[in-house]
Amino acid sequence: MSSRFVSPSHDFTTKSHSLAMISWFSCSSSTRSSGERFFFEVVHENHEIFKIYTSLRKRVKKMFFHIVLERNMQLHPRYFGRNLRDNLVSKLMKDVEGTCSGRHGFVVAVTGIENVGKGLIRDGTGFVTFPVKYQCVVFRPFKGEILEAVVTMVNKMGFFAEAGPVQIFVSNHLIPDDMEFQSGDIPNYTTSDGSVKIQKDSEVRLKIIGTRVDATEIFCIGTIKDDFLGVINDPTTV
């Protein structure tokens, strides 16, 4: 089986198709379609696929965490009144969702408020600062994780891709040896027989081999030079 192109139409008994089902693994049984339920029945009947499934389920869960954070929220006097708490929660969601902390990762969503402390009036402004303790889901990729990403730029040094808020760089040394860089109007990496191509907007499955964490950013290095990694959707075939 090619390690460069993994078709989403492969049979259930292939490891590559199990990998393609990664987005299903976090779903609750009540939200799955009949087709998805059938897939899980097949998985549980086949010992080898079940081992792959459980391994991938653990991988997916390792990147998402439900944690409790604290933040001091400053609120303008115009928002005081009977809806003060609702206004505070709305501002919290607007301020933190989509942001990144090098320590905790990307804040995906605020899921609940644990506590709102007593407000402190700011002298000379009328603003009030409230200490808020809240629950949220964060996304924090680690070395060894498998991600599906969209290619955003290709050059002779490799290509950049994005998986949600995470930017990943794949060096040309971490691209299969039979893929060569082709310059032109649409730069790409193509196999010698032309059957597989990586260009802007291609969807790829890659493995993270390193991360760089800053105060407000997480940058990853990835590879597609491994089994069951590579292009999963070529925009030229759509």
Q: Would you tell me which CATH number, out of the four given (3.40.1410.10, 3.30.1490.120, 3.40.50.720, 3.40.250.10), belongs to the domain 64-139?
A: 3.30.1490.120
pLDDT at 9: 36
* Mean of pLDDT values over 77-83: 88
In this predicted model, what pLDDT tens digit does every residue of 159-204 receive, in sequence order?
A: 999 988 889 999 999 999 989 999 888 999 999 888 889 999 999 9
- What was the pLDDT predicted at 11? 37
CATH 2.40.50.140 in the chain, residue ranges: 15-45+143-237
Residue 60 has pLDDT above 80, yes or no: no
Which CA distances in Å does 188 have to 52, 158, 181, 213, 224? 32, 9, 6, 29, 15
Whole-structure pTM value: 0.63
- Domain 15-45+143-237: what homologous superfamily? Nucleic acid-binding proteins (2.40.50.140)
Q: How far apart are alpha carbons 159 and 167 in whole angstroms?
A: 11
Q: How confident is the model at residue 210 (pLDDT cuts 50, 70, 90)?
A: very high
Q: Would you state the structure tokens that stand for residue 211, as one six-digit string?
A: 């991360």
The Cα–Cα gap between 136 and 206 comes to 27
Domain ranges in the chain with CATH number 3.30.1490.120: 64-139
CA dihedral (201, 202, 204, 208) positive or negative: negative
Residue 55 has pLDDT above 80, yes or no: no
Count of C-beta atoms within a 10 Å radius of residue 110: 19
- Over residues 98-113, mean pLDDT: 88
**pLDDT band for position 221 (cuts 50, 70, 90):** very high
Q: What distance in Å separates the CA atoms of residue 104 and residue 48, rounded to the nearest whole number? A: 34
Confidence of residue 38 (pLDDT cuts 50, 70, 90): low
The span from the CA of 149 to the CA of 204, in Å, is 5
Q: How confident is the model at residue 45 (pLDDT cuts 50, 70, 90)?
A: low
Q: What is the pLDDT of residues 124-155, one digit of tens each?
A: 888 999 999 999 999 888 889 898 999 999 99
Look at residue 2 and tell me whether its pLDDT is greater than 50.
Answer: no
What does the mean pLDDT of the chain come to? 78
